[in-house]
Structure 1
Amino acid sequence: MDVIGIDLGATNVRVARIVNDKIVSISTAEIENTASAEDLINQIRMLISEEIESSVTAVGIGVPSVVDVEAGIVYNVQNIPSWKKVPLKKILEKDFNKPVYINNDANCFVLGEKYFGKARGCSSVAGLIIGTGFAAGLIFNNKLYSGPNCGAGEVGMIPYRDSIYEHYCSGQFFEKQKGINGSKLFELALDDDEDAQEIYNEFGTHLGNAIKAVLYAYDPELIVFGGGVRKAYQFFKDAMYKSMSDFAYKNSLNKLTITVSELDQIALLGAAALVLDNKTQN
């Protein structure tokens, strides 16, 4: 395999060349959220040009937005107001004469885990990204399920308490509910700060409730956590499982495995996995 993987993030865009399941080089540029759609497309073109070789067979792209997967049209990218409707697949295929596959970042995450990480060999997986947001990528019967509008797995938008799950099960909980930066909270917890641990206990309770919703809706055999908050798993794990203890179907709960991604470059690998998945399914 020799492909290009692209991660269009909130503050930067990264383009990697991936050969035989390993990242061999990465080019990065910061994103100006006030940039025009064409300026950002030109940034992406430049980074691809830095990485592409004649041996590259295809390009995979993960974006934090809703995607028309078949047409390769990207809609309403978070933190980039100018990207309302961008036919990115058509543009890049014309520029580089390579097949281009695009999907949202949560779907790329779960595919990355399926092909490169903890979900290898599993046929039913929910990949939960717990970062600045909260969303899931879903695999059923060994196939990625995006839904007809690329909206499947948007569990963060489900109503919860006075708001939605995302406000209680992502880094937003620490910032908005507790008034503390997630990185600072993690540092305090590592120093055995009791107040920090109590915040993580509360967070774990909310996350456990969200996982029950995921189990009732999707019944996966494996849940894999991604996103920056996953690094604090040791601090919210016990409260999370305690919150899940009243799940109605005990046998399903006993068969469930919950684990944490160990892939630091999962966004880029996940984008590359779009290419692998297309070959596998077709």
Structure 2
Amino acid sequence: MENAFIIAIDLGGTSAKLAILQPSGDIVSQWSVPTDISDEGSHIVPNLIAAIRQQVADLHLNMADCLGIGMGTPGTVNVQDRTVIGAYNLNWAKRQNIGEAFEAAFGLPFYLDNDANVAALGEQWLGAGDGASDVVMVTLGTGVGGGIVSAGELLHGGSGAAGEIGHLTIDPHSSIQCTCGKVGCLEALASATGIMNLARLHLTHTQHQTEVSQRLAAGEALTAKDIFTAAEAGDAFSQEVVKQFCNYLGLGISHIINMLNPSIIVLGGGVSQAGEFLRANVAKQTEKYLFPALLNTYEIVLATLGNDAGILGACQLVNLAR
């Protein structure tokens, strides 16, 4: 169809990003709506449906030309049933029949996946993955998320939980507990939260009295960005913390490479804004732990799509199903 388009949704706890795109990924229209999580999140899907209807009407589009709707959401997703459960930041503790609601509203094919998977698919398709068939995205934010594209398709695993990279045990002897209840998870040691965990722990035995260590000891609120910026500027305490952070992250990535043999590993999320300083240090640490035959078979790169990764990945969900 000459006028064919795809509707994409990237649902978050604060807002949902929506877009109407051409199948090529070119964005025709993009907007956002607040996520109303009141009443156990019961308003979220109706609000999304209403927002789509309004935008399609405003653009004078013919829904007969729509190839489908793709959506990324937090929580545990059943891709076949198009349901999600356990999206607690949305107040979706119970199972949500999202696909059923959207198909009843529009009569169109509807595809649903976890938001980290969808972002990985977007980067693999039109971002830093450069269209390679085997790509893993590691998202470094408050926690650590991930998505795995293998042979051009998202991996979901037996129960849909493939890609829980953040809960690889990286240091079983660590004193730092993860929110999942385990100790030594990658998420507890190599996220924005993790680097602050490491900094506070390192403060107890460091020999370096620097501006950052003194601010931390005084109880000043610092961020991951503060630590990386200071490390790059030569702060010795911060450099030690970043080295430990990159060592943990490199170890985690080495397990991914040894197991899945991806050609590209994409670093995304807020922490990845530390840029080449982060990427180069992580790449150096990763090499130490690799099976020698896999050296020089991959690239570690920074994500390029930013906030558009989710909507582009949601668009590609529809493309892959056609």
| TM-score w.r.t. length of structure 1 | 0.89
What does residue 55 of structure 2 align with?
51
Is 1:231 matched with 2:273? yes
**Alpha-carbon displacement from aligned partner over 1:137-173 (angstroms, at most 9, x marks no partner):** 1122222211132111111112232321111122221
Q: 1:89 to 1:242 in 2, by over 3 A?
A: same
Task: Tell me the CA shift for residue 26 of structure 1.
Answer: 2.1
What does residue 138 of structure 1 align with?
148
Task: Tell me the CA shift for residue 37 of structure 1.
Answer: 2.6
Contact 1:72 1:101 in 2 (8 A): yes
Q: 1:83 to 1:26 in 2, by over 3 A?
A: farther
SS at match of 2:92: coil
Higher strand fraction (1 or 2): 1
User: 1:78 & 1:253 partners in 2: Cα distance?
Assistant: 40
What does residue 111 of structure 1 align with?
121
| TM-score w.r.t. length of structure 2 | 0.79
User: 1:29 & 1:41 partners in 2: Cα distance?
Assistant: 11
SS at match of 2:295: helix
Is 1:2 matched with 2:5? yes
Is 1:16 matched with 2:26? no
RMSD: 2.3
SS at match of 2:284: helix
What does residue 76 of structure 1 align with?
86
Contact 2:143 2:187 in 1 (8 A): yes
What does residue 162 of structure 2 align with?
152
Q: Which range moved further: 59-68 or 156-165?
A: 156-165
Aligned pairs for 1:86-235 (under 5 A) are: 86-161=96-171, 162=174, 163=183, 164-178=185-199, 180-185=222-227, 188=230, 193-235=235-277
Structure 1 regions of 5+ residues with no counterpart? none
User: 1:115 & 1:236 partners in 2: Cα distance?
Assistant: 24
User: 2:303 & 2:264 partners in 1: Cα distance?
Assistant: 12
Amino acid aligned to 1:15: L
Q: 1:277 to 1:209 in 2, by over 3 A?
A: same
Task: Tell me the CA shift for residue 259 of structure 1.
Answer: 0.9
User: 1:113 & 1:214 partners in 2: Cα distance?
Assistant: 17
User: 1:189 & 1:50 partners in 2: Cα distance?
Assistant: 49
Task: Tell me the CA shift for residue 198 of structure 1.
Answer: 4.0
- What is the identity percentage for the equivalent residue pairs of Structure 1 and Structure 2? 27
Task: Tell me the CA shift for residue 183 of structure 1.
Answer: 4.2
Q: 1:211 to 1:16 in 2, by over 3 A?
A: same
Q: Which has the larger radius of gyration?
A: 2
Q: 1:132 to 1:149 in 2, by over 3 A?
A: same
Task: Tell me the CA shift for residue 119 of structure 1.
Answer: 2.1
SS at match of 1:123: coil
Contact 2:116 2:147 in 1 (8 A): yes
Contact 2:84 2:98 in 1 (8 A): yes
Q: Which range moved further: 234-243 or 58-67?
A: 234-243
Task: Tell me the CA shift for residue 186 of structure 1.
Answer: 5.2
User: 2:147 & 2:290 partners in 1: Cα distance?
Assistant: 24
Number of matched residues? 279
User: 2:234 & 2:39 partners in 1: Cα distance?
Assistant: 43
Structure 2 regions of 5+ residues with no counterpart? 175-182, 200-220
What does residue 268 of structure 1 align with?
311
Task: Tell me the CA shift for residue 182 of structure 1.
Answer: 3.0
**Alpha-carbon displacement from aligned partner over 1:168-222 (angstroms, at most 9, x marks no partner):** 1222213444363234445556766554444333221111011011122212121
User: 1:139 & 1:270 partners in 2: Cα distance?
Assistant: 11
Q: 1:238 to 1:187 in 2, by over 3 A?
A: closer
Contact 1:59 1:100 in 2 (8 A): yes
User: 2:196 & 2:15 partners in 1: Cα distance?
Assistant: 22
User: 1:192 & 1:2 partners in 2: Cα distance?
Assistant: 50
SS at match of 2:288: coil
User: 1:201 & 1:272 partners in 2: Cα distance?
Assistant: 38
